[in-house]
Structure 1
Amino acid sequence: MRVDGRDIAVSGSLLQPLTRRTNDIVRLMLATTFLVVVITSSLITRNEWEALEKSLSDLVGVLSPTQSNAVYLIYGVAILALPFMILIGLIVARQWKLLGAYAAAGVIAILSLSITGNGIAAPRWHFDLTERLDTVLSQFLDDPRWIAMLAAVLTVSGPWLPARWRHWWWALLLAFVPIHLVVSAVVPARSLLGLAVGWFVGALVVLVVGTPALEVPLDGAVRAMSRRMFSVSALTVVRPAGRGPLVLTATQDASAAGADPEPGTAVVELYGPHQRGGGALRQFWSKLRLRDSETAPMQTSMRRAVEHRALMAVAVGDLALANTSPIAVATLDRGWTLYAREPSAGVTINECVDETPVTRVWDSLGVLHSQQISHGDLRSKEITVVDGTPMFGGFTYAEYGASDAHLHTDIAQLLLTTTDLYGAEPAVRAAITVFGNEAVLAASRRLTKSAVPKRVRAAVRDAGTAMSTARDEVKRQTGADQIKAETITRFTRSQLIQMVLLVALVYVAYPFIASVPVFFSELRSANWWWALAGLAVSALKYLGAGAALWACADGMVKFRNLAIMQVANTFAATTTPAGVGGLALSTRFLQKGGLGALRATTAVALQQSVQVITHITLLVFFSAALGVSANLSRFVPSSTVLYLIAGAALGAVGVSLFVPKLRRWLATAVRPRVKEVLDDLRELAREPKRLALIVFGCAATTLGAALALWASIEAFGGDVSFVTVTIVTMVGGTLAAAAPTPGGVGAVEAALIGGLAAFGVPAAVAVPSVLLYRILTCWLPVFVGWPIMRWLTRNDMI
């Protein structure tokens, strides 16, 4: 490369990967969204849009027919000439390598709209001027293929041409919307489709081909460094631009090095517009996710972000704690920004742990904090030791005039880093010596996954263990009873879960809400005493489930709290498919009650296993008691369905045996849990009292639901035996567990109504009885379970 008469040697690849071109990716996402919106609105609300356009045209259509024809003629000529104007602009700008992309975008856009059911329909454009000129031009104005081609070639060529030309040409293309409203009353939907397709095709071609922003302005970087008295003789690429900047090493010209025996070197970081786009998106996500006190002011300009980093290096350098100093900061052509600095002095802290006491590292951070400066990125590679003094580098996340939140985050990060390097005991002791008990205790609340950035956690060997060990050591040395995690996000995990559950509740409750008017009309003839009796006996479900789980957990949690938790469990199980929310809530409750994660999971699995066995046993028993008069065949799926289920099960077993990852997962995750449950079942066989309590609790869960349905039927004057109701209830419960809908909504109601009809219960009795039963056993507990779940959360039980 030749710059101002000097030859500069450049080695290494400057190519930026496709996956890191943020601006091009965002452009393609916007084009895709616009295309989806146009297609959807054309299929669903096209008539409404045309009516709106006609009403707008009546307001803006002030031109006479002669004036409309003149406007149509002038605009048609401009649209016809536009692609040739763009092509001439590329030739004048000598963008020869772009001609292929220009042609490819135009051809793809035309072909994508020329595909029909009979193949490709070629455009029928002609220039027969024997007809009226506006008739000739209308074939281009109203043809979506021409609009698509214009949008595609303009999207591809726009970044390579002057901004003024690009703005005028886009304005000319988009003017077809108001002109159509003025001239022909309605904007053709096919023209909007052509615009959307053309923009999408152009954005896709731009992503593949690239933009001028990908051309690195190395000559501008060399000139900017020369103005700072650093004459560059060679550039070596250390890392291509990707998630971070393009990093090069610059070697100083020996003739400009003066009396130095060796020419100096500098680290050159070049930030492209794609880093600016990606950085803005990351800042926006942080603002959206974290509280205001946790985030620094947004730097939407890459120049300001780089300038902030350089100024922080100067500020820390005044304290003699910066391992580098800036050489030049400049804005270059095509949206690039230069940051040149001296190489980092010293060796990283992880290379000289034995020679550097941990107290010195904390002393350096103490000096930094005494000037109200936070670093924000205390990884080991950003801490170097120069002549025995730990110094800092990076400064991308540093803040001057930092808040207490930023200072505490620094302490938490250094606790994690020094615990990994020196061990928890000396790291915490040194931190307390420098900052005191209160500051370290407050900072240790941030030793969580959400508070410590991923980049810092990834820099240590086992972040989870290191954070847990550091917290325990802080408790030991400060004498604290517990360390409550700091909430730094706008929405906690429990709030998000509760929001999802509420949305799911609205979704699953909608079919029931639709049938409420009919149900209330039937309530006038109901016997409320039987309804109250059904509500009372439905409580057996929660007492039985609580007793079974209490026995499975060896009585290590309070039975009263377990029974209350079962009501909240109904809310969680109803608002999640297959009741997985209820299982997770039970496991979490046992963990908070003092059981380990494996023991809590095993207890829940044991209770569910006994529940299934008891359920099947009761079903067989009551079926035998009912006798052959029960027509149970209608509850059994057809043979085809059974064969399909068996085939799917065998296929799943075969896949798990032949896929290594699935086989390892079954061996390491599933098999130990199954073995634990089987071992517990064998132990239960040796403890008759405990086994009897679990079986009794599981049976009470099933029979409580059956009693509630039987009372509901009696409330509406039905006459059916309890044995029959029990069979119908157990079949409905089985379907509830197998149905993909949350709480089995829809499937349970249909199964119960169909089951009662099979045993001769009239529909006039079966339908309101089932709805009343679902109110007593599902919807009332759901609405009561929501505040109970919040109460359990406030009391740290889940």
Structure 2
Amino acid sequence: MAEARPDHEVYVVEPLLPQRLRRPSDLLRFLATLLVLGAVVLLALIAKQTLNGLEADVTEGTTLVPDLLSRVATFLGGAAVLTVPVAFAVERVFHRDGLRVAEGLIAAIIGMVGSFLFGQWLLAGNAEDLSQLLTGGRSIEPLNTLLTSVIAYTTAVRISRRPTWRALTWTVIALYIFALFSGRQITLPGAVVTVLVGMAMGYATLYGVGSPNTRPPGNAVVAALRKLSFAPVSARRIDDDHQGSRRYHMGLRDGSSLDVTVLDRDRQVAGLPYRLWRRIRLNSETRRRAIRSLRAELEREALMAYATQAAGASTPRLLGTSEIGTEAALLAYEHLDTRTLDEVPDDEIDDGVLAQIWEQVALLQIQRLAHRRLTGDGIHLDGAGRVVLTDARSGEIAAGDLLLRLDVAQLLTYLALRVGPERSVRAAAAVMGPDALGHAMPLLQRIALTRETRSALSKDKGLLAAIREQIVALKPQSTVEEVRLERFRPRTLVTIIASTLAAYFLLSQLSQVNLGQVISTANWGWSGLALVASFVSFVAAALMLRGFVPEPLPLWRTVLVQFAASFVKLVAPAAVGGVAINTRYLQKRGISPALAVASVGASQLIMMVFHIALLLLFAYITGSNTATSFSPSRELVLALLALAVLVVVLLGVPRLRRIITERMRRLFSNVLPRLLDVLQSPRKLIEGSAGTLMITLAFVVCLDACVAAFGGELDFTAVAVVYLTANAIGSAAPTPGGLGAVEASLIVGLTVAGLPRELATSAVLLFRLLTFWLPVLPGWASFTYLQRHEAL
């Protein structure tokens, strides 16, 4: 037997650690600073009056300071704002840390050049609102170049880690800002934006050039293990775990082995955006903090390891923990010769293995321990075929019922992917009991599963339904309560953001128009015609729906449904609210859900066909009005070419082509049979087609009358093209009723068609008042009436 080498000769097999690395924390700080900067500018632009008053109070406050004190502060601030950074640089050079100073100088240069160029761009007349905000209309720098460069420098040299220097630096920066206020050389928003831009420049520089690698190498890990009384004789770096933590396999002098996990401080924020997104979006009863210190992470993982051992579960024993300097910590586990369940072929996962897996999970659940990562890489099999649970660092102690049920749902789904839903459910029921599966059934949702399992489910979209069927077959009398895990859907977030931007656009438009003057100057005759056309559109919508439903529908009740749909548009996108209300109405009339959806889909399909046909027709006529021959306009040709390019792109990208093909297949498989039913009744076909055509013409007449109400003269076909284009954009917008998108499109379209912008804005506001806002009150009354009579 070979004699073991002395401790200091242990050779660690690992890749060379890079000298510099880009820290995720710097990127996150940069993005967070940009987010705050955007929010500050947006709020400042919206609350101009409040901001002006606040700045006036601050400026007045500076005048109340005694003149001598003001002069002293100005002198000290101006001198110290350069002296302190230079002193810090000298101190770092004496400590042989000149590279950090160089990084700070790079950030300072970028900050100075960037702020100067941005200021020149603003002073050249670009973004006048922003320029007015930052300068207050005075001949000053929008961004103070010296202040920007100093803050970029202090950020890049990480002066925040030195409490004394940090306090001194921000004190002199505050004095310098005070001096600038006293001399009216900066505005309040200009100061805030300058500070944020400087910080953003500093963080961008840190991430761009990278930071010195402070991760302890493998020999430091070996030294830390020696302090724990272990005697390593070999060390080898193995694959990182799923959270990016380094792992080492250590051979000991007594012949045993260790698996060592190293927690690096700079990796603590890795994956933070995804964790925060899941934390905000999901309601999982977890009280875990998204950001934890290195010490807290070490203690948490150790506590979970000891808790699983105390529960009697088969897990690798935690043998020791230690910090490695200030930048890392380690956890040493006993080494077990195992292979992950992902590496085990499906045919080797017999009923005995399934039973063992569920028995281990049952031991954890008895002690209220949630594993949170029951996937193929967290479940292992040793040489004797025994199940070993690993990777418990994601788990929770004293877990609530929801977390425990989530574990069951996750494991049911993963095993069903491997052995099928029947065997997965049967094995779980034999150990956990049918009641536990019944309680977990509401949580069989894609959003509740791990990222890897969700990805695997995309290849078998009917698996969750098959698992539910197996559970119901075991316990058919069980009542399943609905569990809402999502606090909101991404689509809801998009709608909120889009609605906010739309509201900002509308407010900015309204601020340029005197509403009282708009109402008083509008021609009442044309306004009355527009109001009648708006009402006719609701009757036309009712006729369209009746025409595509073979079953009889009462006309005026169907008209009330269309008014109710106008009320729902306040909280739903334009293309969604009406479809949902009409489908619900048909179901209440005794029509099956599939036929109700098919009828509404058929009406929407025919309306889309009419919409495109009318748009092309009116565009053709508009382009030929001034031509010597009946030829299409250049704009129409360009639009057709753009449409052709879009079709080529959609059909040329395989993934997009599959999505379109699947959706079109669903559409035609349900809608075409319904259309065939309608074709058998010529009266129904005429009614539906007439209603579809009347809707478009009624809205065009309404918009044309609104233009005429303010003295505008525009060809009817041009108004039709503007409306049809704007309506298509509004239908695609995620805002309620196309809010913002429709107004912007109509104003731009009418302006391009030749109307003055003020007149176009007034006409559009009147049009939207009659077609969107005014029907809300009768829509609410109709909605309430129909609900009371159980028609919705």
| TM-score in terms of structure 2 length | 0.73
Could you tell me which residue of structure 2 aligns to residue 734 of structure 1?
724
How far residue 52 of structure 1 moved from its aligned partner, in angstroms, is: 3.6
Does the 8 A contact of 2:547 with 2:678 survive in 1? no
Structure-2 residue corresponding to 1:330: 322
Give secondary structure in 2 for the equivalent of 1:490: coil
Q: Quickly say closer, same or farther: Cα 1:302–1:489, change in 2 above 3 A.
A: farther
After superposing the two structures, state which structure 1 stretch, 40-49 or 92-101, moved more: 40-49
Describe the SS at the equivalent of 2:269. helix
Residue deviations 1:564-621 (CA, integer Å, cap 9, x gap): 76445445668888x533586489869995439996896355432564499699x99x
Q: Counterpart of 2:103?
A: 101
1:375-390 matched pairs, under 5 angstroms? 375-386=371-382, 387-390=384-387
Deviation at 1:779, TM superposition (A): 3.4
Q: Per the alignment, do residues 148 and 24 of structure 1 end up closer, same or farther by CA in structure 2, a change over 3 Å counting?
A: same
Alignment of 1:49-448 (within 5 A): 51-59=56-64, 61-62=65-66, 64=68, 69=71, 72-98=74-100, 100-112=102-114, 144-158=144-158, 163-177=162-176, 180=179, 184=183, 196-212=196-212, 214-216=214-216, 218=218, 220-239=220-239, 244-254=243-253, 257=254, 262=255, 264-278=256-270, 284-291=276-283, 293-296=285-288, 300-350=292-342, 351=344, 352-354=348-350, 356-386=352-382, 387-448=384-445
Aligned partner of 1:581: which letter? Answer: V
Q: Secondary structure at the match of 1:550?
A: coil
Q: What letter matches 2:444 in structure 1?
A: L
Q: Is the 8 A contact 2:339 2:380 kept in 1?
A: yes
Structure 1 residues 535 and 149: alpha-carbon distance in aligned structure 2, compared to 1, 3 A threshold: closer
From 439, 448, 452, the counterpart of 1:451: 448
| Distance of aligned partners of 1:326 and 1:778 in 2 relative to their CA distance in 1, 3 Å threshold | same
Deviation string for 1:669-720 (max 9, x for gaps)? 2598399769977996897434541331231344478689999999xxx9xx
Is contact 1:293–1:403 with CA below 8 Å preserved after alignment? yes
Listed one character per residue, the Cα deviations across residues 70-108 of structure 1 (whole Å, up to 9, x for unaligned) are 555555554443343223222222225445434433443
Residue equivalent to 2:28: 26
Structure label with greater radius of gyration: 1
Structure 2: distance between partners of 1:180 and 1:321: 66
Q: Is the 8 A contact 2:412 2:428 kept in 1?
A: yes
Q: Decide which moves more: 676-685 or 268-277.
A: 676-685
Task: Give the deviation of 1:145 after TM superposition.
Answer: 4.7
Distance 1:519 1:673 in 2: 45
Matched position secondary structure for 1:341: strand
SS in 2 for 1:488: coil
Cα distance, 1:368–1:782 mapped onto 2, change above 3 Å: same
Distance 1:602 1:453 in 2: 35
Determine if contact 1:709/1:769 at 8 Å carries over to the other structure: no
Report the 3-state secondary structure (helix = DSSP H, G, I; strand = E; otherwise coil) of the residue aligned with 1:450: helix
Q: CA deviation at 1:407?
A: 1.4
Matched, 1:650 2:646: no
Higher mean C-alpha displacement, 482-491 vs 87-96: 482-491
Deviates more, 1:540-549 or 1:295-304: 295-304
| Counterpart contact for 2:59–2:181, Cα < 8 Å | no
Q: Return 187-196 or 704-713, whichever deviates more.
A: 704-713
Residues 213 and 335 in structure 1, CA contact (< 8 A), matched pair in contact too: no
Which moves more between the two structures, 729-738 or 558-567? Answer: 558-567
Distance 1:38 1:99 in 2: 30
Structure 1 residue 363: Cα displacement: 2.5
SS at match of 2:444: coil
In 2 relative to 1, CA 213–13 (structure 1 residues): closer, same or farther, beyond 3 Å? closer
Q: Which deviates more from structure 2 when the two are superposed, residues 495-504 or residues 606-615?
A: 495-504
Report how far residue 373 of structure 1 moved. Answer: 1.9
- Within 2, Cα distance between the matches of 1:35 and 1:312? 40
Deviation, structure 1 residue 69:
5.0
CA distance 1:113–1:421, change in 2 (3 Å) = closer
Matched-pair contact (CA < 8 Å) for 2:20–2:210: no
User: Residues of 2 paired with 1:151 and 1:706: CA distance?
Assistant: 60
TM-score (norm 1): 0.72
1:405 positional shift: 0.7
Counterpart Cα distance in 2 of 1:643 and 1:634: 8
Structure 1 residue 381, shift from structure 2 partner:
1.9
Aligned Cα root-mean-square deviation (Å): 5.9
CA contact (8 A) 1:180 1:187 kept: no
Q: Cα distance, 1:271 vs. partner?
A: 2.4
- Local SS of the residue matching 1:402: coil
After superposition, what is the alpha-carbon deviation per residue over 1:408-452, rounded to whole angstroms, capped at 9, x for unaligned? Answer: 111111110121122111222232333333331221111112222
Letter in 2 for 1:216: P
Q: How does 1:751-770 map to 2 (within 5 A)?
A: none
| 2:138 alignment counterpart | none
Q: Which moved more, 1:142-151 or 1:385-394?
A: 142-151
Shift of 1:24: 0.4
> Which letter does structure 2 place at the counterpart of 1:174?
I
One-letter amino acid of the structure 2 residue matched with residue 434 of structure 1: V
Distance in 2 separating the partners of 1:686 and 1:781: 33
**2 CA distance for matches of 1:175 and 1:335?**
32
- 5+ long unaligned stretches in structure 2: 122-141, 710-714
Q: What are the superposed Cα offsets for residues 373-420 of structure 1, whole Å, 9 maximum, x if unpaired?
A: 221111122112344443311112322222111111111111101211
Is the CA contact 2:599–2:674 (under 8 Å) kept in the aligned structure 1?
Answer: no
Query: Which AA in structure 2 matches 1:108?
Result: I
Residues 143 and 13 of structure 1: CA distance in aligned 2, closer, same or farther (over 3 Å) = same
- Aligned with 1:293: secondary structure? coil
Is 107-116 or 150-159 further displaced after alignment? Answer: 107-116
Give the Cα separation in 2 of the matches to 1:228 and 1:543. 80
CA distance in 2, matches of 1:470, 1:177: 67
* Kept after mapping to 2: 8 A contact 1:571/1:782: yes
For 1:690-701, list aligned pairs within 5 A: 690=681, 692-701=683-692
Q: After the TM superposition, which residues 464-613 of structure 1 pair with which residues of structure 2 at under 5 Å, given as runs?
A: 464-479=461-476, 485-491=482-488, 517=516, 539-551=538-550, 566-567=562-563, 569-570=565-566, 579-581=574-576, 585=580, 594-595=593-594, 603=602, 606-609=605-608, 611-612=610-611
Q: Deviations over 1:219-277 (max 9, x none)?
A: 55333322322233444333469x723323142343xx2xxxx3x33232222333333
> 3-state DSSP class of the match of 1:546?
helix
Q: 1:519 to 1:378 in 2, by over 3 A?
A: same
C-alpha spacing 1:404/1:538, structure 2 compared with 1 (3 Å): same
**Alpha-carbon distance change, 637 to 268 in structure 1, aligned in 2, over 3 angstroms:** farther
Q: 1:473 and 1:794 mapped to 2: Cα distance?
A: 39
Mapped to 2, the partners of 1:3 and 1:597 lie a distance apart of 81
Match for residue 128 of structure 2?
A: none
Tell me how far 1:542 sits from its aligned partner. Answer: 3.4
2:17 corresponds to 1:14: yes
Q: Is the 8 A contact 1:214 1:272 kept in 2?
A: no
Deviations 1:516-543 (A, max 9, x none): 7568769998999999988875542232
5+ residue gaps, structure 1, are 120-141, 621-631, 719-724, 758-763
